[in-house]
Amino acid sequence: MKAIRILHIEDDERDACLVAAELEKAAIVFTQTLVSTRAEFMASLEESIPDIIFSDHSLPAFNSLEALKIVQEKGIQVPFILVSGNTSQEFAVSAIKAGAGDYILKDALQRLPAAVQSSLEQYDGNVKGLKIQQEKQAIELAAREEINKLAARLQLATSGSGIGIWDWDMATDQLTWDAGMYQLYNTTSGQFGSVYEAWLMCLHPEDKERIENEIHLAINGEKEYNTEFRVIWGDGSFHYIKAGGTVERDNEGNAIRMTGINWDISVHKKEEHHLKLLESVITNTTDSVMITEAEPFDKNGHRIVYVNEAFTIMTGYTLAEIAGKTPKILQGPKSDMEALKRLGESIKKWEPCEITIINYKKNGEEFWINFSISPVADEKGWFTHWISIEKDITQRKNEELQKMLIAEISRLFGGTETLNELLQDVLTRLVTFADIDMGEIWLIAKDRQRINRVAAYSSSNELQHFYSKGCGVKSFAKGECLPGIAWEKKTMQFCQELCGEKNIEGLDDAKKTGLQTMYGLPIIYNDEVIGTFVLGINKKEKIAAHLTGLFENLGLHMGAEIKRKQVEQELNQIIRFAPDLVCIVGLNGYFLKINPAGCDLLQYTEAELKAVPLIDFIHPDDKARTNDSIQQIRESQVNYYTENRYITQSGDTKWIAWTSSRIQEEELIFAVGKDITDRKLSEIHLKELNKTLQKQARELAESNADLEQFAYVASHDLQEPLRMVTSFLTLIDKKYSAVIDDTGKQYIHYAVDGANRMRQIILDLLEFSRVGRKEDSQAAIDLNEMVNDIRILFRKQIQDKSAVILADSLPVIYTYKTTIRQVFQNLIGNALKYTRKDIPAVIGITATETELEWQFAISDNGIGVSRQYFDKIFLIFQRLHTREAYAGTGMGLAITKKIIESRGGKIWLQSEEGCGSTFYFTLRKPG
């Protein structure tokens, strides 16, 4: 094949090499003569006419137009192809018009071989069609010029912007990329195959088939090529690419090339994904979202542009209904103006804001809404919208308000008012809170026979007037009217047909005042109804469910409070009227409460007593002990008893006996004090008296002992001289009987007799003084045996007086053997002695038993004793008769009495002169 001779006007050798390389690549055989000046060009033409001329446009000392002119002037018929950089686009057009055969950008040299071929073909023997060809080329060139111009502009605009431009020559399957394309595919011209298949290989396998199809459709003219796909880089990462292109067709409409662009939309995709996510959040969130325009802003607010589904569910308004309106549509009489003002101020300053207010649903229902609004800016940073996230917090708000209400009610119950006063306050608060027209509280009487109205409140003038006149039935039986029915049924009662057939008796008054709907709700304590709330409204509609719920809750809550208050009132009543001191003391040692009896006792007011520590009122000597007591009460919970002295305001000392106990949960001491001043004083007095008595008793015992000692010594020591007197008188009588006359003998007899009597007296006295001193042991004694012994002892007297001793079957007793025998002996002896001469003596002995003692009676039918001597006969040496009439010393009964009394018994008699006597005595049983 003949080599194509190329004359190449080019001053840059590298460009010349690139051109040569491109031609070689296309297997074109050629020679290349390089010229860079006009002279060289002229010289070369002189030397030989080339087959084709390539020309760079602008050289330092030459240019393509000049070259073209020279060629035309010389009439040389060879193709003239402009091979130039992209800055000479406009010039290229004029060059083509001037007669240049083609125009190749240096950036698109791959097109050069094809251009060379076609130019040569056209020139080769086709001189006829040359003109047509030239025209056609001019048109094509103009079109390409336009494309290139655009492409160049695009490239200019897109250089560095992530956009790549491609060109696919279908005939040669040459795919030409600009630098941007290589960047997008993260490859180089060396690595990339520059054919259609090579490009397909870069696509994500999942996208490949779809894209091939789309290319196919574009080529067929069925659909514009405008698509997205993913490109896989060498490192395995994939990138979203947006692609578009146009198909170039020949005269027959066959697609011959496609040109287009690619750009990376990964960031955009991410944002899109992100946006989708956000959109789905906004659409699906349970919080309501409302978007308003930022401008214009009139007094009603901004125009609504969007609300989500949650908003529609919350308010009842759909987007269609509310779009274009302002949020004012949601507000109403109860919306907090202050909060809205605050919101308006934030909006003016473009600041986010959060408020909670009452709004109104489409159906007019109120609800609590919490919303926060934030301004939204566009890409330029201008605020264009407000976005508002809204929550229906009615339930939370109601719960919050109800909690506050219940706390407030509890506070009222904790106050000092009476139950009825505070129920009136509670009711007023409730009616205002619930925004109803009327409320009443009814309580069941203690005997549970009737239910009585204790509080009534109405917000309407008519009803207020009605109550103030004292109107309305104030008491019902169980089952009667609303209060009674709620009591009986134990559940909430609802009554709307006040004027209808189902009229509840007793509601006539309510009707008169215009009430149309009424409720009766039981107040319950311990599963038992203790009262009823009655609520009324002037409209024929129901009270909001959460409010009736509130009253039901209150019915349970207040039941306990009312009961507690009732008990407290009753207790207060008891404490108020208690005659004793009742008080509550804090663990800090101050009186917290003290009843009137306490104040009266201590002569201070309650305020005075509460002002200082109670220890200040205590007697100085008792302070330390009282402090100890308080400490002990603090530490234990059992009842604690103590006594101490208080000093009253007037300075008197009051003894108080306290019973105190600590209430663990409340850290309080409850105490009841009794004024024991009188008892305490008499106790002290008694103690002193006791002391005196004990002293006297001691002194008496001492003197008695002395006396007894004296009697004993005297009687004992007198025996001896007396015996001497008697002995010597007896000696005188015997020895000198011859010299003593009868009178003398008689005197001696009297003296001896006197001495004998004196001896007997001394013996009796000795016996008397021994009583109580003698050791005597106790033993079981059979009194029957003892009486028999005494019978034997007195057998002579019994015989002489023909006496009988009648003794019942007497008991066996455990007692002092010797001394008790002496008692029986003395009494039986007297009965035998003081007999009447005219009748035989009859003596009776009986015994009777009681729980603690034995009582014995020894009776006779003797001479008796006159009542006036009943005491005298028990004294020592006291007798009622002369020695001549009845022998004796008058000591017997004195000794007997002393024995009986020393054993804890008593002795007495019943007698009448001449009619016998009965002597009684008692003996304590042992133990």
Minimal distance, residue 876 CB to ligand ADP, in Å: 8
Under 8 Å between Cβ of 857 and 849: no
Residue 536 interacts with ligand ADP (CB under 6 A): yes or no: no
- Residue in the structure block whose two tokens are 């007698």: 911
Query: Of the two residues 16 and 893, which places its CB atom closer to ligand ADP in the complex?
Result: 893
Which of these segments, 533-541, 611-619, 667-675, 877-885, binds ligand ADP (CB under 6 A)? 877-885
Q: Judged by CB under 6 A, which of 880, 901, 910, 918 binds ligand ADP? A: 880
Residue 822 interacts with ligand ADP (CB under 6 A): yes or no: no
Q: Judged by CB under 6 A, which of 481, 521, 554, 893 binds ligand ADP? A: 893
Which of these segments, 396-404, 771-779, 782-790, 828-836, binds ligand ADP (CB under 6 A)? 828-836
Q: Judged by CB under 6 A, which of 685, 881, 906, 924 binds ligand ADP? A: 881
Q: Mapping DSSP to helix (H, G, I), strand (E, B) and coil, where does residue 69 land?
A: helix
Q: Mapping DSSP to helix (H, G, I), strand (E, B) and coil, where does residue 371 land?
A: strand
* Residue 33, beta-bridge partner list: 7
Report how far residue 391's alpha carbon sits from residue 410's, in angstroms, rounded to the nearest whole number: 31
Minimal distance, residue 653 CB to ligand ADP, in Å: 57
Query: Of the two residues 84 and 896, which places its CB atom closer to ligand ADP in the complex?
Result: 896
Alpha helix (H) residue ranges in 110-231: 112-123, 130-158, 179-184, 196-201, 205-219
Query: Of the two residues 239 and 898, which places its CB atom closer to ligand ADP in the complex?
Result: 898
Q: Judged by CB under 6 A, which of 466, 519, 834, 854 binds ligand ADP? A: 834
Report how far residue 443's alpha carbon sits from residue 441's, in angstroms, rounded to the nearest whole number: 7
Query: Of the two residues 332 and 840, which places its CB atom closer to ligand ADP in the complex?
Result: 840
Which H helix or E strand runs over 591? strand 591-594
Minimal distance, residue 860 CB to ligand ADP, in Å: 5
How buried is residue 627: exposed, middle or buried, by Cβ count under 10 Å (0-12/13-18/19+)?
A: middle
Under 8 Å between Cβ of 376 and 385: yes
Minimal distance, residue 775 CB to ligand ADP, in Å: 25
Residue 830 interacts with ligand ADP (CB under 6 A): yes or no: yes
Query: Of the two residues 326 and 825, which places its CB atom closer to ligand ADP in the complex?
Result: 825
Report how far residue 593's alpha carbon sits from residue 582's, in angstroms, rounded to the nearest whole number: 8
Close Cβ partners of 341 (under 8 Å, ≥ 6 residues apart): none
Amino acid identity at 587: L
Residue 767 interacts with ligand ADP (CB under 6 A): yes or no: no
Q: Judged by CB under 6 A, which of 108, 443, 863, 900 binds ligand ADP? A: 863
Residue 907 interacts with ligand ADP (CB under 6 A): yes or no: no
Residue 879 interacts with ligand ADP (CB under 6 A): yes or no: yes
Q: Judged by CB under 6 A, which of 755, 831, 841, 923 binds ligand ADP? A: 831
Residue 892 interacts with ligand ADP (CB under 6 A): yes or no: yes
Report how far residue 603's alpha carbon sits from residue 801's, in angstroms, rounded to the nearest whole number: 83
Closest residue to bound ligand ADP by CB: 888
Query: Of the two residues 766 and 863, which places its CB atom closer to ligand ADP in the complex?
Result: 863
Q: Judged by CB under 6 A, which of 371, 860, 861, 900 binds ligand ADP? A: 860
Minimal distance, residue 817 CB to ligand ADP, in Å: 22
Q: What does the angle CA 722 – CA 726 – CA 732 come to, to the nearest 5 degrees?
A: 140
Alpha helix (H) residue ranges in 316-460: 319-322, 337-348, 394-414, 419-434
Query: Of the two residues 520 and 888, which places its CB atom closer to ligand ADP in the complex?
Result: 888
DSSP string, 846-871: EEEE-SSEEEEEEE--SS---GGGTT
DSSP string, 497-531: -TTSTTPPTT-HHHHHTT--EEEEEEEEETTEEEE
Which of these segments, 225-233, 443-451, 630-638, 874-882, binds ligand ADP (CB under 6 A)? 874-882
Q: Judged by CB under 6 A, which of 890, 898, 899, 907 binds ligand ADP? A: 890
Query: Of the two residues 259 and 889, which places its CB atom closer to ligand ADP in the complex?
Result: 889
Q: Mapping DSSP to helix (H, G, I), strand (E, B) and coil, where does residue 717 land?
A: helix
Under 8 Å between Cβ of 644 and 625: yes
Residue 889 interacts with ligand ADP (CB under 6 A): yes or no: yes
Number of residues located near ligand ADP, criterion CB under 6 A: 20
Report how far residue 213's alpha carbon sits from residue 259's, in angstroms, rounded to the nearest whole number: 17
Residue 308 interacts with ligand ADP (CB under 6 A): yes or no: no
Interface positions with ligand ADP (CB under 6 A): 830-831, 834, 860, 862-865, 873, 879-881, 888-894, 917
